């Protein structure tokens, strides 16, 4: 049972526009959410996180929104840049030592 | 220069052979993790360790073994019992065990079993 779902395997966005990556989860006990970015043949790097007591967290061009009632979070990247082209994973946890990862969304930013 | 190192980056083995993947961190992190990534799938947890000389099975531990004799090292052995060992393996660490601690990942090892 996939507790964290990224239903869009890929997304293509023009440079300068907004990229919106979505993530849904089923476990209402999750209280911490993270986004990671991964380039091919490299390990994921941490991007941004959000606690369930918040509904928005912003860091530069990256903003994560959390809608607890819908069990949905999204990552907004604006403006999108070619260097943002990568696979993005969302992850969730419930105050445990295990992160549950989604399947990833491949973002391609074209000129 | 602190970080997590995994070696080698690419590894080839014949079917039926055991192989050990290295993971070292100099971040003084207590917790370490092993994940596997397959195409079209998320990162799946194999084993994790919260403290030296202790480790727990993750979601897909069958066919794998680990040890945690030193804080900075968490090697993963892929045994011949693992039915589909070809994958990209990622090691991670976090300051303490707990979901609110960001995990930092190594560069990964791509294992191909011929």
B89 touches chain A (CB under 8 A): no
The structural domains of chain A, with segments of one domain joined by +, span 4-110
Nearest CA in chain A to B109: A41
B98 touches chain A (CB under 8 A): yes
Res A97 pLDDT > 60: no
Give the residue-averaged pLDDT of A46-65. Answer: 96
A1 touches chain B (CB under 8 A): no
Q: Which residue has the higher pLDDT, B96 or A80?
A: A80
Do residues B100 and B82 make contact, with C-beta atoms less than 8 angstroms apart? no
B39 touches chain A (CB under 8 A): no
Phi-psi region of A98 (alpha: psi -120 to 50; beta: other; left: phi over 0): beta
pLDDT score, position B100: 62
Q: Which residue has the higher pLDDT, A41 or B85?
A: B85
Quote the tokens at residue B38: 């397959």
Residue A18 CA, chain-centre distance (Å), reads: 14
Query: How far apart are the CA of A24 and the nearest CA of chain B, in angstroms?
Result: 14
pLDDT score, position A96: 62
pLDDT score, position B68: 97
State the DSSP string of chain B.
---EEEE-SEEEE-TT--EEEEEEE-S--SEEEEEEE-TTS-EEEEEEEEETTEEEE-TT-TTEEE--SBTTB--EEE-TT-S---EEEEEEEESSSSTTSPPEE---EEEEE-
The class (CATH top level) of A4-110 is mainly beta
Nearest CA in chain B to A105: B40
Res A100 pLDDT > 80: yes
Give the residue-averaged pLDDT of A44-73. Answer: 96
Query: How far apart are the CA of B9 and the nearest CA of chain A, in angstroms?
Result: 9
Query: How far apart are the CA of B2 and the nearest CA of chain A, in angstroms?
Result: 15
Quote the tokens at residue A24: 């849904």
DSSP SS3 for A82 = helix
Q: CB count, 10 Å around CB of B40?
A: 8
pLDDT score, position A41: 79
pLDDT confidence of A94, banded at 50, 70, 90? Answer: confident
Interface test with B, best of A30, A97, A103 (most B CBs within 10 A): A97
d(CA A73, CA A52): 10
A21-80 residues touching B, CB cutoff 8 A: 31-32, 34, 36, 41-46, 49, 51
d(CA B11, CA B77): 13
Q: Tell me which chain B residues have a C-beta less than 8 angstroms from the C-beta of A21.
A: none
Q: Tell me which chain A residues have a C-beta less than 8 angstroms from the C-beta of B42.
A: 2, 4, 6, 89, 101-104
Give me the tens of pLDDT residue by residue for chain B, a chain 114 residues long.
569 999 899 999 998 899 999 999 999 999 999 999 988 788 999 999 989 999 999 989 999 999 999 999 999 999 988 889 999 999 999 887 665 668 899 999 999 998
Q: Tell me which chain B residues have a C-beta less than 8 angstroms from the C-beta of A96.
A: 98-99
A96 touches chain B (CB under 8 A): yes
pLDDT score, position B1: 58
The tokens 């804080």 sit on which residue? B71
């Amino acid at each position: 049972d996939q507790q964290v779902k990224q239903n869009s395997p890929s997304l293509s966005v023009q440079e300068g526009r907004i990229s919106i990556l979505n993530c849904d989860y089923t476990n209402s006990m999750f209280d911490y959410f993270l986004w990671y970015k991964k380039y091919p043949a490299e390990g994921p790097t941490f991007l941004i996180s959000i606690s369930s007591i918040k509904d928005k967290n912003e860091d530069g061009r990256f903003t994560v929104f959390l809608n607890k009632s819908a069990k949905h979070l999204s990552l907004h990247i604006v403006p999108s840049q070619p260097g943002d082209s990568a696979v993005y994973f969302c992850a969730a946890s419930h105050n445990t030592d295990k992160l549950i990862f989604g399947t990833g969304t491949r973002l391609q930013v074209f000129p | 220069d602190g970080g997590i190192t995994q070696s080698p980056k690419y590894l080839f083995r014949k079917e039926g052979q055991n192989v050990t993947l290295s993971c070292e961190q100099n971040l003084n992190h207590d917790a370490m993790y092993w994940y596997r990534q397959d195409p079209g799938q998320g990162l799946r947890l194999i084993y994790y360790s919260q403290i030296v000389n202790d480790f727990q099975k993750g979601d897909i531990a069958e066919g794998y073994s680990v040890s945690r004799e030193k804080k900075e090292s968490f090697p993963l052995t892929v045994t011949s019992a693992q039915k589909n060992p070809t994958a990209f393996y990622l090691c991670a660490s976090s300051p303490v065990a707990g979901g609110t601690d960001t995990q930092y990942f190594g560069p990964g090892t791509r294992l191909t079993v011929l």
